[in-house]
A and B are shown apart, each in its own frame.
Chain A
Amino acid sequence: MLSRVAESIYWMSRYVERAENVARFIAVNLNLSMDLASEGHQQWLPLVTTTGDDKLFYELYDAPTKRNVLEFLTFDRNNPNSILSALIDARENARSIREVISAEMWEHLNNFYLMVKDVGRAGGVSEEQLVFYEQIRASGQHFIGITDATMTHGEGWHFGQCGRFMERADKTSRILDVKYYILLPSPQHVGTPFDELQWSALLRSASAFEMYRQRYGRINPANIVNFLVLDREFPRAILHCLSRANDSLHAITGSDPESFSNLPEQRLGQLRASLAFTSADDIVNRGMHEFVDDMQRRVNAVGLALSNTFFTRHADAA
């Protein structure tokens, strides 16, 4: 498979996953803000922090009002991580590899982009905000389903899987970070209904609430960390995401999953192993933020190694 094509599939999948994740954060916060409206606890800045774009936000807007944050995260082309920007990038990548992906994938992605763009052109979200963000989430899921059902599960598909799961691992870690750093520092709330509401919201933004209930029942921070970081079966848990990315990486190279044949495999394998042999208590004791910081750094390092190994187009020898 052409390196350029592999790279485009990888990024197409990442960007769709990103758009969907941003919509998730927003939908959950919209819900939360309705529940908390009477207590004056509306918080919109944490959403910007989640994507790591505070600095850019303050360059473009004066205050983190609901309106500003929604605009910034949804339609703002100056924000490379806005939903619209991610979809434009996803579509541009898809457009350059239309001959490789299925016609249904292209069509769906094209329509997904048109839908968001049209709402933006019509003046942004207003009355039916929740419906809009649910549509985005559903469109993202739909794309995954179509991809799974219509694209040959060969090399290209595996690159797409790598992109999607690396992005998802990164986003789940950011969700956890937000709770610890932004929402938590009001000690008076710990253990209150307010705290529980926030933890539930966090689970919901990872679509993890019902699955968490089945697994652990009561809301408990250590269990939540366990579930979102270390669960092997929950599809948005970091360990699960890294394992799936690892499977695809080995499917691409054909090397033994217990070993490695190149740098990305080595780095990803080490990262997976260190997660597989840690516990929620270790993480909490060490400090959630430090853990997440380290995680993101290492996920990025895997992405970089992947890119250097498969995508760079220097004239390598035959």
Chain B
Amino acid sequence: MQQQTSMERVNGVSEYDVGEFYDEMFAHDASPRENCNLLYKRVIGLTTLDLQRRKLAAERSMVRLGITFNVYGDEEGTERIIPFDILPRIINADEWKWVSDGLKQRIVALNMFIDDVYGDQKILKDGAIPEHVVRSAASFRPQCVGLKPPKGVWCHITGTDLVRDQDGKFYVLEDNLRCPSGVSYVLQNRQLMKQAFPDLFESLSVRPVDDYCGQLLDALNYLAEDRTDTPTVGVLTPGVYNSAYFEHSFLAQQMGVDLVEGRDLVVQDKKVYMRTTKGLAKIDVLYRRIDDDFIDPRVFREDSLLGVPGLIEAYKAGNIALANAPGTGIADDKVIYAYVPDIIKYYLGEDPILPNVPTYVCWDEKQRDHVLNNLHNFVVKPANESGGYGMLIGPRSTREEQAKFADLIKSNPRNYIAQPTLSLSRAPVIIEDHLEGRHVDLRPFIIYGRDVFVLPGGLTRVALKKGSLVVNSSQGGGSKDTWVVEELP
């Protein structure tokens, strides 16, 4: 009897409102999707109290383990945990294969594009994408023209953001090719999930994520294999005050390599050295987590104190490998993004497996007029921002905001793109004593070394505020573990 009551009450599944959205766990009639059946049964078998207890335990672990990110401009308590929802998001292995193939195709084409743009610029000469779009990109680095990165790969680590629309189909929302964050949370979330639901792992065949750091280390070592059999690898961080410092330190720790700051490095005779207790020691590969702008004051921003004077010269001389290479940001400019399907066709002669979200580029007069006349329907994004800043979400905006954005667009049309507001899919999260649907996206991680490796799953980010579409951790988003499940139990 008792059992019955608690099952009923559990998480108020009976009152769960799928709404107008594609729900990651429930079909439109609120019955669990086939691949979520077992999860559903297990979760439904728990009392609300038990579920909350497991959630609290997971959050306490995060505080205890210091899995935190830094909040800029916040004096006391500068570290916070990213809220973590312990209901996993489940993706079928066959669907994942398709996503993963799409990501591989995309990253291979994007690398060819970057190599071409800083090389022969065939794609521009052929007019497959407009030359001025590339030349006017803030992330285009003339300093990188003519660079030949080791093994011809520019972008070794990518975090591509995917969303599911109302129809349940995945779309690429944006590519992050510079210093994408979040993979440490994927790995840590998985550890916490194993503590929270050991029984579920035993009955579902969830693809492991543990070998990410091994794959990353292999890819980094690979970059120096022509120069040395025993490369010294380091992770280059801006320092403890950076919001992603936890991740930098975690990756260095898990790979067993040095975590270095600019002030630890010095360049002599076009070679890069670490300042050690026994004098200078040569370093061969850097996984850099400092933006181009700050990486070398002699080449980029002169006022940067974070970087290493002379690093780019050493890089050009082939004495240090950088992952990701400087200049990769050209491929995640949001206007270039609009042309990625063309880029894939141009270099690979294939149709894109993963579609883009339909995108209007405002430098084009016709498209701009359409955007300006329908601002209330569009999400408008600046070409070169991240973290969800500087956006207009049309349907939720006031007339003043729309007017402000209309001015912004008109004064700098090259800097804006517009996309129809998608109806992002939702996933149930635990809110107090019941479940509620919240919008989610997905950031899978791709490593391009000897081969292309796609980490199964990725970081599911959750917009925790009711109705919100903003999933960024800097704006109060949370995360979920993402399970690629091998086969139906």
- B64 near A1 with CB under 8 A, answer no
- A107 interface contact, C-beta 8 A: yes
Assembled-state Cα–Cα distance A103/B191 (Å): 14
Assembled-state Cα–Cα distance A97/B250 (Å): 10
Minimum distance in angstroms from B135 CB to a CB of chain A: 38
| Number of chain B residues whose Cβ lies closer than 8 Å to a Cβ of chain A | 29
> How many residue pairs at the A-B interface have CB separations less than 8 Å?
74
Contact mask for chain B residues 255-299; partner A; CB cutoff 8 A; 1 contact, 0 none: 001111101101010000111111110000000000000000000
Assembled-state Cα–Cα distance A270/B277 (Å): 23
- A1 near B65 with CB under 8 A, answer no
Given contacts A4-B275, A106-B66, A318-B280, contact A95 B261 (CB under 8 A): no
- B264 near A313 with CB under 8 A, answer yes
Assembled-state Cα–Cα distance A252/B277 (Å): 9
- B66 near A110 with CB under 8 A, answer yes
B235: chain A residues at CB < 8 Å are 99
- A315 near B266 with CB under 8 A, answer yes
- B155 interface contact, C-beta 8 A: no
B65: chain A residues at CB < 8 Å are 103, 107, 110
Minimum distance in angstroms from B252 CB to a CB of chain A: 4
A3: chain B residues at CB < 8 Å are 264, 275-277
Closest A residue, CB atoms, query B240: A96
- B49 interface contact, C-beta 8 A: no
- Which B197-255 residues have C-beta < 8 A from chain A? 235, 239-240, 245, 249-250, 252-253
- A318 near B273 with CB under 8 A, answer yes
| Number of chain A residues whose Cβ lies closer than 8 Å to a Cβ of chain B | 29
A107: chain B residues at CB < 8 Å are 64-66
B275: chain A residues at CB < 8 Å are 2-4, 313, 315-316
- A1 near B277 with CB under 8 A, answer yes
Q: Which of B66, B249, B278 counts the most A-chain CB atoms under 10 A from its CB? A: B66
B128: chain A residues at CB < 8 Å are none
Closest B residue, CB atoms, query A4: B264
- A92 interface contact, C-beta 8 A: yes
Minimum distance in angstroms from A133 CB to a CB of chain B: 22
- B63 interface contact, C-beta 8 A: yes
- B273 near A155 with CB under 8 A, answer no
- A114 interface contact, C-beta 8 A: yes
A267: chain B residues at CB < 8 Å are none
- B253 near A2 with CB under 8 A, answer no
B279: chain A residues at CB < 8 Å are 316-318
Residues of B within 8 A of A (CB): 63-66, 235, 239-240, 245, 249-250, 252-253, 257-261, 263-264, 266, 268, 273-280
- 21 A-B residue contacts at CB 8 Å? A1-B277, A2-B277, A3-B264, A3-B275, A6-B277, A96-B249, A97-B259, A98-B250, A99-B249, A99-B253, A99-B257, A99-B258, A100-B253, A114-B64, A155-B277, A159-B277, A313-B264, A313-B275, A316-B275, A316-B280, A318-B280
Residues of A within 8 A of B (CB): 1-6, 92, 95-100, 103, 106-107, 110-111, 114, 155, 159, 252, 310-311, 313, 315-318
